[in-house]
Amino acid sequence: MRVDQESSSSHRDAEASTSTSKDPGRTEEAGADILPKEMNEMTISDDKVDGHNDKIIVTSIGGQNGKPKQVSYMAERVVGTGSFGVVFQAKCLETGETVAIKKVLQDKRYKNRELQTMQLLDHPNVVQLKHHFFSTTERGEVYLNLVLEYVSETVYRVAKYYNRMNQRVPILHVKLYAYQMCRALAYIHRVVGVCHRDIKPQNLLVNPHTHQLKLCDFGSAKKLPLFPGESGVDQLVEIIKILGTPTREEIRCMNPNYSEFKFPQIKAHPWHKLFGKRMPPEAVDLVSRLLQYSPNLRCTAVDACAHPFFDELRDPKTCLSNGRSLPPLFDFSAAELEGLPVELVHRIIPEHMRK
């Protein structure tokens, strides 16, 4: 077994970032309102970590009185790969805690934007950055290792499971996931001033026991304001198929510098035909408010949290299917509520949860 010493860097027990799902059937408590047992058959990857399957990673983090404390991680398996690098599941040998470690090649000429962003974040719906360190290969390549909170499931895998079973995701779970996503976005937009730029089901992590959702993967994040106009043509065509061809005014609102108007002329697809009769009308209304070309007409994330579609979550009688309480939804910090109109705060936070 190889033991590699990794060079330590400054760290922060802050909150944020990424981890990928594995072992969905593991139960923490009897009677927990967990995802179906059949999800045990849905594995992402059983591959051993390439080059890490028998590797212990040793690094140092700040301990008590500023003295460094040694921490060792046993790399167990790959849980995600991409152009960014690799994410693998690991176990802290000192505490037994399972973590996700995202390993990315570090360009020596630049600071890592993802690390800088994640060090700013502290929110219950954003995954936690525990600390980070750098490692160097024999060829002199420097890698940044982000040690992250491990969350075992994603909205993508949850939806995929129900689709395979020819079932719909329970509407209460849809509300829980959508609300927590909007709350996370409201936080990073209003409090931190960051745009995620890669919201997708794979980047929405879910605790299968509590149904708490956490936003992850800030590799594409940028500080606001942003200048739009860099999206792919194919993606834009798919959007036009649903929303119809944007008008010149809508294009101007999205990007005042864009002067080309060579789009196929397509009528908007009616929302009720897209979703079908079984979709609650409040859900259709929320989607129609979020998917607007013009930013001025688009519903903000914090306004979305106050939408009637989420009123069931504000009902003190609402609970999970087994009677357990919902995950924390209304523990807003002063920074999250700063500058919001009183009436909006009252719409978001139910009376029984106000201090």
Q: Which of 197, 141, 146, 161 is nearest to 16 (CA)?
A: 146
Can you give the length of the chain in residues? 355
Strands 55-62, 2-5: pairing is: parallel
Q: Which pair of structure tokens corresponds to residue 264? A: 């196929």
Chain-centre distance for alpha carbon 237: 26
Q: Which pair of structure tokens corresponds to residue 163? A: 């689709």
Summarize the chain as % helix, strand, coil (round to 5): 30, 20, 50
Q: How far apart are CA 192 and CA 196, in angstroms?
A: 11
Catalytic residue, from 23, 198, 285, 311: name it. Answer: 198
315 is catalytic: no
Are 145 and 137 in contact, with CB atoms under 8 Å apart?
A: no
Maximum C-alpha span of the chain:
66
Are 198 and 220 in contact, with CB atoms under 8 Å apart?
A: yes
Residue 241 counted as an annotated binding residue: no
Positions marked active-site = 198
Known binding-site residues for ATP equal: 103
